[in-house]
Amino acid sequence: MTFDFGQTLADLDTELLAARLAERAVVADAARLEAAGPAAWHAYSRAIQAGAGGHPWKLLMRELLGGAGVEPAAIAPAVDWLWTEQPTRNLWRRPVPGMIALVDALAAAGLAVAVVSNSEGRLAELAAELGWERKFAVIADSGKLGLEKPDPRIFAWTCERLGVAAAETIHVGDAWAADIEGARAAGLSAVWFRGEGAPSDPRVRVAADAPATRRALRSLGAPLDPA
């Protein structure tokens, strides 16, 4: 089993983001940042589909701040500063309800669990800070590996270290281009977390939340109880 990290296991902490922006005298309301999230993530996904490399974090953040009504002249310098701060004060740290409990249930069922994330090179340290480091047999951090989703090689690297075949592995992630297309290109099944529609691929499921993800995983063959 593999999971994306941001927006799958941990959401962007908009309260923390607003507080960090305030350190730079940039006014941003946490509720408006939250509301701007879906459009910003759509822009991020479109950029990846268009072939944008380098983990387009700044594009995501610019869209997010703009959508939340931050003063336009303040956006670029604020995003540049946040990027320099991200390795030591990662903004993605608000646990997604039920998802870590699902990771624990998978481990209890005898499955090795990994994270596959487009991150900044310090994801293992963030997992340790959150108390999650022992939950994952492998953490594939694009910032360390130099491989980014949707490149199938990052999934292949992870499966090799888990000691499992790609065809026997399921990936859960929120970004269609990075997570689902990448996983399927590598031969994994996939669950599109918080996705939409009904994919035609028989090895892809859509799940709105943790209970739906559990059901989706069971339908793909994961040995989970119905609870």
pLDDT at position 226 is 65
Instruction: Copy the structure tokens of residue 161.
Output: 């270290």
Spatial separation of the C-alpha atoms in residues 116 and 120, rounded to whole Å = 12
Asked if 224 and 106 touch (Cβ cutoff 8 Å), the reply is yes
pLDDT at position 165 is 97
Confidence of residue 22 (pLDDT cuts 50, 70, 90): very high
pLDDT (tens digit, 9 = 90+) per residue, 121-135? Answer: 999 999 999 999 999
Q: What is the pTM of this model?
A: 0.91
Spatial separation of the C-alpha atoms in residues 175 and 32, rounded to whole Å = 22
Domains of the chain: 2-7+93-219 (3.40.50.1000), 12-92 (1.10.150)
- Residues of the chain with pLDDT > 70, as a percent, come to 97
Mean pLDDT score, 168-174: 97
Asked if 27 and 71 touch (Cβ cutoff 8 Å), the reply is yes
Confidence of residue 225 (pLDDT cuts 50, 70, 90): confident
Closest CA to 16 of 89, 100, 68: 89
**Does residue 227 surpass a pLDDT of 60?**
no
Which DSSP helix (H) or strand (E) runs through 88? none
Spatial separation of the C-alpha atoms in residues 13 and 18, rounded to whole Å = 9
Spatial separation of the C-alpha atoms in residues 5 and 92, rounded to whole Å = 8
pLDDT at position 23 is 97
- Residues of the chain with pLDDT > 90, as a percent, come to 87
